[in-house]
Amino acid sequence: MAKPKSRELDPATKAYNEGLQYITEHPMFAPLALHAHFIRREGNQCPEHGWAVTTSDGFIHVHPKRRGLPEEWVYILAHALLHLGFGHFRVMERQDLWNAACDAFIAKFLYDMKLGRPPAGMDGRVELAAKSEEELYDTFVERGLPPSFHNLGSAGHGFQDMLLNSRDTGYYWSNRQVNWQDCLGKGLSMAVTSAVNVTAGYEAYLGAQKEVLTPALKARNWFISSYPLMGAMAADFTIIEDPILCNRLSITVAAVDAEAKEIYMNPAAGLDEQECRFVLAHEFLHVGLRHHARADGRVPYLWNVACDYVINQWLMEMGLGAFPRIGGLYDPELKGLSAESIYDRIVNDLRLYRKVATFRGMGLGDILPPSKPDWWERNDGLALDDFYRNCLSQGLDYHYDQHRGLLPAGLVEEIRALSQPPILWDIELAKWFDHYFSPVEKFRSYSRISRRQSSTPDIPRPRWVPDAGDEDGRTFGVVLDTSGSMDTKLLGKALGAIASYSLSRDVPLVRVVFCDATVYDQGYLAPEVIADRISVKGRGGTILQPGIDLLERAEDFPKNGPLLIITDGFCDRVTIRREHAFLIPKGQSLPFVPKGKVFRMD
């Protein structure tokens, strides 16, 4: 059978994408394009014979099938964005004449700028005697609209390309309060600076990256010199401000790469120094509090959103910088909750939280995934873990020593908790045994002679013996994953720990079940037998549910007996109706979130 050909973009879509990419990378239009939203789909608000229309809330509806050259799309998209940047959305008595006056000024602006090429039927070369849109509008009201001004808009003849009250688009952006004039001013500043540097030979092309002291770098320097809590992390991270790279990575405002120790800041977002302080502190806390390593099987994006709510609440309480005007995740009702608690809320109400946007954008987390999923298990990953924890721990001490002010209690608690070494898995397993198997009650009995009786034969000495019947039901079940992917060293560690803890807690027998593609019931085994040599059966696939069902339905197994499941994590979802715990390798996660405890073995 012939291999199907890869699906390529149609010529219309390809030309549109090229024009859109040029506009989003142009230093003058990048801030406007970053905040606008382009809709190119069937049923949008663009007229049948038009090119594009712009709404007052920043949505640009593009004709989904219109064919044009890339330079024609550059002209159309720039025209639509300039309506926003010039502040043309006003309520006038003759809205059609006002739209025509605004189209004329944009056409004159783009013609003088020599940007793109107007499509056939849209003559971009116009002569204007008026000095402003208002003056031209008054002329049109007084004398009428001349024929040469009929086809300057992007909506086609007889239609307006500015919509004040558009119908619901089905999109929602959280905390969107965009000042379009400020975005255009930022773009003009970037374009002029870039043009001067190109002329002077400091840049190879318009919009190329250069070494200047930007607001983000000023904010980073402020952390190093004046804020010890995050100064060490600020000194070690590299700030990357490349609008083209940020556009390729779909970064709206900022994102952090913990593995590479890089923070991406999109200059097109137009943040000032105070806003950059807030955003940088936000990213520093993501890394310093190990949010990238604490997901533990949770959905990465939803976990990122939960952490954002916590961090932004702390930064607002601390008064550190200014909350970005472009928006962010902040809800006063979630104050005092941990990231884990907020995550539980989110998964129970996905309809409310699925459209929120992080600093990277809607549907994307600002914690960039590592290039290699297992990087945290390597030596360099562990060294970075220590570095990040030490940075915040020492920074907290310096913060208090220099009397820098109060910090939120939740932030201090998390930093203190991270500065403590983690509890080893075998210690946690010992606590699990203590919970289910309390020490057996003993009493003194003269029926058995004490060992000290021989030294003083004339003095009768009783012996401590366990109470009869206390050992009844003192057992638990072990479901052992014996699939081919299971590491033999892992099996040895797990079985050895189980045997030693069973002996120390006076557990006489353990019910053992091997389980891979089928079930092998070994019955009750003494702990010393498990610790010695045991014949492992299986080494096939991984299906744990039959083994769990066998123990839950066994008549000779206590109804309240807990289960201990040892697996490598590569298993299907299981249903367990009694107390249980999982032993899995460190760094692995289960394909489901169990209600019982999870011990990750080294």
Dig out the tokens for 36 from the structure. 């606008």
Q: Is 573 left (phi over 0), alpha (psi -120 to 50) or beta?
A: beta
What are the distances in angstroms from CA 567 to CA 145, 491, 532, 571? Answer: 78, 9, 21, 8
Give strand pairing partners of 511: 477, 524
Residue 481: φ, ψ to 5°? -75, 110
Angle value at C-alpha 296, between 295 and 297, nearest 5 degrees:
95
DSSP labels for 96-141?
Answer: HHHHHHHHHHHHHHHHHHT-S-PPTT---------SSHHHHHHHHH
Strand partners, 514: 480, 520
Phi/psi-derived region of residue 361, left when phi > 0, alpha when psi is between -120 and 50, beta in every other case? left
Q: Is the distance from CB of 59 to CB of 178 less than 8 angstroms?
A: no
Q: Which residues of the chain have pLDDT under 70?
A: 1-8, 124, 165-177, 196-212, 296, 350-355, 371-389, 418-422, 440-444, 446-455, 457, 463-472, 531-542, 587, 593
pLDDT at site 75: 93
Q: Which residues, including other chains, have CB under 8 Å from residue 167's CB and lie 6 or more apart?
A: 45
Same domain, 256 and 175: no
Same domain for 377 and 235?
A: yes
Q: What pLDDT is stored for residue 208 in this prediction?
A: 52
Q: What's the one-letter identity of residue 379?
A: N
Does residue 596 fall inside a structural domain?
A: yes
* Residue 60 and residue 172 share a domain: yes
Answer yes or no: do 388 and 267 share one domain: yes
pLDDT score, position 507: 87
* In a domain? residue 168: yes
In a domain, 145, yes or no: yes
Q: Among residues 378, 398, 419, which one ends one of the domains?
A: 419
| Within-domain flag for 204 | no
**219 and 153 within one domain:** no
| Residue 326 and residue 264 share a domain | yes
| Tally of domains in the chain | 3
Residues 168 and 217 in one domain: no
Please state the φ and ψ torsions of residue 14, each to the nearest 5 degrees. -65, -45
CATH number for the domain harbouring residue 555: 3.40.50.410
User: Among residues 350, 384, 419, which one ends one of the domains?
Assistant: 419
Closest among 144, 156, 139 to 63, alpha carbons compared: 156
Q: What is the pLDDT of residue 233?
A: 84
In a domain, 491, yes or no: yes
- Please give the biggest Cα pair distance in the chain: 132
Q: At which of 183, 204, 224 does a domain end?
A: 183
- Considering the domain architecture, whether residues 58 and 150 belong to the same structural domain is answered as yes
143 and 15 fall within a common domain: yes
Q: Is 599 helix (H, G, I), strand (E, B) or coil?
A: strand
Nearest Cα neighbor of 83 from 115, 49, 107 is 107
Residue 269 sits in which domain range? 213-419
Structure tokens at 198: 């190109």
Based on the fold, state whether residues 51 and 176 are members of the same structural domain: yes
pLDDT number for residue 393: 78
Residue 444 is assigned to a structural domain of this protein:
no
> Residue 194 domain-assigned?
no
438 falls within a domain: no
Same domain for 413 and 360: yes
Q: Which two tokens stand for residue 270?
A: 């137009």
- Say if residue 412 is in the same domain as residue 354: yes
